[in-house]
Amino acid sequence: MLQKTRWRKLFAGEESLILKPSEKLFQWALKALGRRAFPIKEIERKLLARAENPAEVEEVLHRLSVCGYLDDHKYVESFVAKQLRRGFYSRSKLRKELIARELDSQLVNEVLEKHLPQEAEQYHLSCSLNRKIRTWSGPMDEKKIARLYNYLLGQGFNQEAIRQEFKKRFNRCLDWED
């Protein structure tokens, strides 16, 4: 408390120390972006909740974009790369997650095609299946195969691709209705 009082006395009367509301928003946005990346729409929503004037938010967003702190393309690329490092994901699951964050679908498709081409999805399906099978013991009966099928569907993989992989692995043609 004593230190704050000295600081106030030392700089008393200096108008440059009084932050404008847009500067406070900018400082808050920098701290938030320092913790993790945000898409533009999400940080805009958070700023609007804190701002008194929507014009201030536009000013802060413009300033953040000019400084290079806000870029949806970089955000999508880092998100996809991070998810692929974590495990094996399908294109459709990644696409759904990114679209839910209000990102442009054309941008999402472009980045997914670059980082996860259609041909690589079959590899991800196979690796995801291998990983799941390693955790199970005992023979592969119909019940386990059905659970595997549902697991892979939940991961967002295509039904036909799953059926082809099962036919190749287990020599079974699945006629399940979804």
Share of the chain above pLDDT 90, in %: 35
User: What pLDDT, in 10s, does the model give residues 21-51?
Assistant: 788 899 999 999 999 889 999 999 999 999 8
Arithmetic mean of pLDDT over the chain = 83
Residue 124 pLDDT more than 50? yes
Task: State how far the Cα of 53 lies from the Cα of 49, in Å rounded to an integer.
Answer: 10
pLDDT band at 132 (very low <50, low <70, confident <90, very high): confident
Could you tell me which of 58, 39, 37, 38 has the C-alpha nearest to residue 48? 58
Q: Which is more confident, 21 or 72?
A: 72
Q: Work out the number of other CB atoms within 10 angstroms of the CB of residue 92.
A: 14
The length of the chain is 178
Task: State how far the Cα of 164 lies from the Cα of 149, in Å rounded to an integer.
Answer: 11
Q: What is the pTM of this model?
A: 0.69
* pLDDT confidence of residue 171: 75
Question: Of 77-81, 84-88, 131-135, where does the model show the most confidence?
Answer: 77-81
* DSSP per residue, 50-103: H-S-HHHHHHHHHHHHHHTS--HHHHHHHHHHHHHHHS---HHHHHHHHHHTT-
Query: What average pLDDT does this structure show over 105-111?
Result: 93
pLDDT band at 178 (very low <50, low <70, confident <90, very high): very low
Residue type present at position 160 = E
